[in-house]
Structure 1
C-alpha cells in the first residue's frame, strides 16, 4: 500500500510539472491580420483565428488542472509520508514546481504532449461552453483586439524588425518619417568649412564660370567681406545665357533675396519654409547670426526618404554630397603628414 501511494504521489507530481510547463503558442499574426486574411477567404487563417480566440480558455483549464494537481500532491504526500513529513514536502513542491517545470526536457515533453492533445482540448472547449465559461480565469482574445503602441520608438522598432512584409526601402521611409519631426537642421546641413562661395566683386568671365560649374553646384552663396556676410545667391543655371563678351560681377548677376534658418530648427519646419518661400537654399545661422552651414531642399528630402535622390549624371545642388566627394586641396604638399 505504501509503495502504491509513493508511486501515485510521484505520478501526480510529474503531471503537475508537465501541466505547469505547457505554454500554448499564440499565432505569429495578430488578431487584426488574421481577421483581414479571413475576410480574403484564407482557410488557414480562419482556423488560426478560431484557435487564437480559444487560447484564453486553454490557459484557464490549465490553471484549474494545476490547482487540482497541487491539492492532490499535498493530500498524497500527507497520506504517504505522514503529517510531519508530508506537509514540508508539499510546501517544497508548491515553492519549486514552477522552477522545475522550466527544465528543458520537461518543457520538451510538455510541448510534445500538448501538440498531440490540443485538437481534443479545443473540441472540448467548443463542446462545453457553459462549463468553460464557469471555469474561465484568463481573458479571451477579442476579435477587436488592437496592438497597442506606446511610443514612437516602439513603432520604429516594429517596422525595422518586420521581416518579409516591407521592402528595405519602405522600412527606411517609414522609420525616417517617424523621426523626421525630431531631426534638427544642424544634422543634415553642409557645415561651414565645406561651403563653396563666390565674392560679390568676382567678375564672371569664361574662366571663372568654368571654375564655378566644376564645383558641381547649381547655386552658390555670394559674400561681401566673409562667409558671415552673405548678400545673395548666384544661380549658375541662369548664367548659361550670359554674354561671355561682357563680363559682369557676381553682385549684379545674383539674386539678392537671402533666407536664413536657425541650426536648432527642425527639418519639418525647414521643409515647410522651403515650400512657402519657393526657394531651395537656406543659410543656416546660430544664435549670434553667424553662418554655420547651408541647407538645401534636397538635403531635407533625403533625410525624409533615407537615401540619396541624386543621379550621378544629373546636375544637382547637394552641397554636402559634392563637398564630401571633392574635398578641398588645401595643405597637401608632396611630402606631408597629419599628426
Structure 2
C-alpha cells in the first residue's frame, strides 16, 4: 500500500509540474485585427478569437487545477512522512515547483500536452462561462501584440483619447488610407464639369460667365465632353492684351493629361508633381471622360478636410452631383432597374 501511495504521489507531483509549465496560447494579433480577419473567414483568426474570449477562464482553470494538485501533494506528503517531515517536504515542494516547472524538458512536454488538449479546454470553458466568471478574481491583462495591418493602426489611432488632437488623428488616418484610395473617389463627376466649346469666342461676356463658375481651368471640348482638346486657363485671358477676341481653341493649352479612374490618388499626386500641372482628365477603361481631378482634390484626400476658398460655390461637388441638379436621365416616365 505504501509503494502504491508513493507512486500516486509521484504521478501527482509530475502532473503538478506539467500543469504549472503550461502556457495558454496567446494570440499574436490584437483583438481588433483578430475580429477583422475572423469576419473574413480566416480559420486561424476564428481560433484566436475563441482564445481571446476564454483566455481568462483558461488561466483560472490552470490555477484551480494547480491548487488542487498542490493540496493533494501536501496531504499525501503528511500522510506518508508524518507531520514534521511531511510539512517540510510540502514547504519545499511549494517553494521549488515553480522553478522546476520552468526547466526546458518540463516546459516542452507541458506545452505539447496543452496544445493537444486546448480544443477540449476551449469547449469546456465556453460551456460554463458563469462558473468561471464567478471563480475569476480579475481579468488577465494580455501583453499587447504588435500591430500587423494598416487598418489596425488606423483603429488604434482613432481610439486614442490623449496625446493627439482631433486634427492630428484625422491627418494620420487619412494619410494611412491615402495610397489605397482611388481617383474615382475624389474626382469631380462628369455632370459637374464646366467646359468650353473650342469654337466659342472669349469676349467679355464669355469671360464673365467663366469667372462666375469659380474655376480657373476649363476643359476645351470638340463636339462633346469625350473629345477634350485642351485646357483653358482663365488667368491668362484676364491679362491678355490681344486686340482680336480669340476662340477657346486659340487661347487654350494644348497639352492635356489623362488619368484612369481606377488609379490611386497616390499615383495622381506623383503625376501632379512630375508634370507640374494642376488638372487631369479622368477616363474609364474605354477612354470615355468620367470626371476631372485637381491637385486640390488630391490634397483634400491627404489632409482629410475640405479646402474651400472664396471662389468655391460648393464645398463638395460630388454631393452636389448626387442631387442631380441638371436633371440627367430623369424623363417623366422613367424607372431605375
TM range (shorter): 0.5 to 0.7
- 1:212 pairs, out of 210, 213, 231, with 210
Contact 2:189/2:321, CA 8 A, preserved across alignment: no
CA drift of 1:212 comes to 0.8
The CA RMSD measured in Å over matched residues stands at: 4.5
Other-structure match for 1:15: none
CA drift of 1:178 comes to 1.2
Task: For structure 1, list consecutive stretches of 5 or more residues without a partner in the other structure.
Answer: 1-58, 77-94, 115-137
> Relative to structure 1, is the Cα distance of residues 99 and 307 closer, same or farther in structure 2, using a 3 angstrom cutoff?
closer
CA drift of 1:181 comes to 1.4
Q: Does 1:226 align with 2:220?
A: no
CA drift of 1:73 comes to 7.6
> Relative to structure 1, is the Cα distance of residues 310 and 186 closer, same or farther in structure 2, using a 3 angstrom cutoff?
same
Contact 2:180/2:265, CA 8 A, preserved across alignment: yes
Q: Does 1:295 align with 2:330?
A: no
CA drift of 1:283 comes to 0.6
TM-score, normalised by the number of residues in structure 1: 0.56
Contact 1:205/1:244, CA 8 A, preserved across alignment: no
> Relative to structure 1, is the Cα distance of residues 253 and 265 closer, same or farther in structure 2, using a 3 angstrom cutoff?
same
Contact 2:189/2:318, CA 8 A, preserved across alignment: no
Distance 1:220 1:319 in 2: 18
TM-score, normalised by the number of residues in structure 2: 0.56
CA drift of 1:102 comes to 5.9
CA drift of 1:229 comes to 0.7
Distance 1:221 1:322 in 2: 21
- 1:320 pairs, out of 317, 320, 327, with 317
CA drift of 1:316 comes to 9.4
Distance 1:223 1:207 in 2: 19
> Relative to structure 1, is the Cα distance of residues 208 and 162 closer, same or farther in structure 2, using a 3 angstrom cutoff?
same
Q: Does 1:72 align with 2:58?
A: no
Q: Does 1:158 align with 2:156?
A: yes
Residues 38-57 of structure 1 mapped to structure 2, 5 A cutoff = none
Task: For structure 2, list consecutive stretches of 5 or more residues without a partner in the other structure.
Answer: 1-57, 76-120
1:15-58, Cα deviation, whole Å (9 max, x unpaired): xxxxxxxxxxxxxxxxxxxxxxxxxxxxxxxxxxxxxxxxxxxx
Distance 2:294 2:124 in 1: 65
Contact 1:218/1:315, CA 8 A, preserved across alignment: no
- 1:199 pairs, out of 192, 197, 200, with 197
Secondary structure of the corresponding residue to residue 296 of structure 2: helix
Distance 2:127 2:333 in 1: 66
Contact 1:216/1:316, CA 8 A, preserved across alignment: yes
> Relative to structure 1, is the Cα distance of residues 219 and 321 closer, same or farther in structure 2, using a 3 angstrom cutoff?
farther
Secondary structure of the corresponding residue to residue 307 of structure 1: coil
- 2:269 pairs, out of 268, 271, 279, with 271
Report how many aligned residue pairs link the two structures: 234
CA drift of 1:72 comes to 3.3
